[in-house]
Amino acid sequence: MIEFPKINGGWTLFLDRDGVINKRTFNNYILDWSSFEFTPGLMDAAPIIGKAFDKIVVVTNQQCVAKGLIKQFELDTIHKSMVEALQSVGMKIDAVLAATEYKNGIEQRRKPNTTMGFEAKAMFPDIDFSRSIMIGDTNTDIQFGKRLGMFTILVESEELIKEIPDFKIGHLAQLSAYL
Greater confidence, 1 or 99? 99
The CA-atom distances, in angstroms, between 171 and each of 20, 29, 55, 153 are 7, 19, 20, 10
Question: What per-residue confidence (pLDDT) applies to 47?
Answer: 98
**% of the chain with per-residue pLDDT over 90:** 88
pLDDT of residue 155: 98
| Average pLDDT score over the chain | 95
Contact 148, 115 (CB under 8 A): no
In degrees, to the nearest 5, what angle opens at C-alpha 46 toward C-alphas 172 and 33?
Answer: 80
Is the pLDDT reported for residue 107 higher than 70? no
> Please, where are the H alpha helices in 61-112?
72-88
Map out the domains of the chain as residue ranges: 12-178
C-alpha to C-alpha distance for 43 and 79, rounded to whole angstroms: 16
The residue-averaged pLDDT of 152-161 equals 94
Superfamily classification of domain 12-178: HAD superfamily/HAD-like (3.40.50.1000)
Q: What is the mean pLDDT of residues 74-96?
A: 98
Q: What is the pLDDT of residue 103?
A: 74
pLDDT tens-digit map of 23-59: 998 888 999 999 999 999 999 999 999 999 999 999 9
Q: What is the pTM of this model?
A: 0.96
pLDDT-derived band at 89 (thresholds 50, 70, 90) equals very high
